């Protein structure tokens, strides 16, 4: 049995209360196959929009002997799903802006889910804003590192909550875990990128103020503004 990556294992853990899930952008269908083989889930719909990954997923499902437990569908995002036919969805390995767009394109279906497990490669703020503005609450957030890359996993459910711009930028839960080494590492890397950009921007350029404001905000959240 192929070993599931740390990133996908964490996504699967977040789905463990739900027996029928959909894996959007399933690629090789490793997550649903491993989920069923380990007894975490019972059935799955694996979705991808590209023929190549669909063929790879079909081969994986056949190798595991799960053709009766995992249904393969072609389509974009949640569009191949009917509201209510699965309990939860997983979308991993896409940009946050793309995940947000896919949710908005099928918002009634997304809101019929009991849980959304989302792992954006970038653009977390855009994704969080989309969730908050469209009737979802973030119930868990996780940072993890694999192959020297820090990943964010956002678990959301239908519901409403009060939120502000710090929740959008840093995460409503993660922003209160500033002592987490991965949180520090992630945002220190962002500070380094801002400093690099500031080194190239002339003093009279309007964008310089935007970068400096963002730098000050990150330093404030990290609690190290006094060391700058």
**How many other C-beta atoms can be found within 10 angstroms of the C-beta atom of residue 222?**
19
143, 187 contact by CB (below 8 A):
no
- Please list, in sequence order, all residues whose beta carbon lies within 8 angstroms of the beta carbon of residue 124, skipping any fewer than 6 positions away: 96, 152, 154, 171
pLDDT number for residue 1: 57
Do both 153 and 186 map to the same domain?
A: no
Do both 110 and 189 map to the same domain?
A: no
Do both 147 and 185 map to the same domain?
A: no
Do both 30 and 111 map to the same domain?
A: yes
Do both 123 and 153 map to the same domain?
A: yes
pLDDT number for residue 227: 41
92 belongs to a structural domain: yes
Residue 150 sits in a domain whose CATH number is: 3.40.50.150
Burial class for 28, CB neighbours closer than 10 Å (0-12, 13-18, 19+): middle
157 belongs to a structural domain: yes
89 belongs to a structural domain: yes
Per-residue pLDDT of the chain (228 residues; tens, 9 = 90+): 578 999 999 999 999 999 999 999 999 999 999 999 999 999 999 999 999 999 999 999 999 999 999 999 999 999 999 999 999 999 999 999 999 999 999 999 999 999 999 999 999 999 999 999 999 999 999 999 999 999 999 999 999 999 999 999 999 999 998 889 999 999 999 999 999 999 998 888 888 988 999 999 999 998 853 443
At 134, list the tokens.
């469209």
pTM: 0.92
Residue 57: give the domain boundaries: 6-161
pLDDT number for residue 36: 96
Cα–Cα separations (whole angstroms), residue 6 to 12, 145, 180: 10, 8, 18
């Amino acid at each position: 049995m192929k070993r599931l990556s740390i990133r996908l294992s964490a996504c699967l853990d977040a789905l463990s209360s739900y027996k029928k899930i959909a894996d959007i952008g399933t690629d090789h269908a490793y997550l649903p196959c491993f989920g069923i083989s380990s007894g975490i889930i019972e059935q799955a719909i694996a979705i991808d929009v590209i023929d190549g990954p669909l063929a790879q997923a079909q081969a994986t499902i056949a190798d595991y002997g799960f053709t009766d437990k995992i249904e393969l569908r072609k389509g974009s995002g949640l569009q191949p799903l009917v509201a209510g036919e699965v309990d939860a969805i997983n979308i991993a390995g896409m940009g946050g802006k793309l995940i947000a767009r896919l949710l908005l394109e099928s918002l009634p279906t997304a809101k019929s889910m009991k849980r959304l497990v989302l792992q954006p490669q970038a653009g977390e703020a855009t994704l969080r804003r989309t969730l908050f503005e469209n009737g979802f609450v973030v119930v868990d957030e996780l940072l993890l590192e694999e192959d020297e890359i820090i990943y964010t996993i956002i678990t959301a459910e239908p519901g409403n909550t009060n939120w502000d711009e710090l929740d959008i930028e840093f995460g409503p839960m993660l922003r209160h875990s500033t002592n987490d080494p991965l949180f520090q590492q992630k945002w220190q890397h962002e500070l380094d990128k801002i400093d690099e950009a500031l080194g190239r921007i002339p003093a009279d350029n309007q964008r310089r103020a935007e970068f400096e404001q963002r730098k000050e905000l990150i330093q404030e959240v990290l609690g190290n503004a006094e060391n700058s």
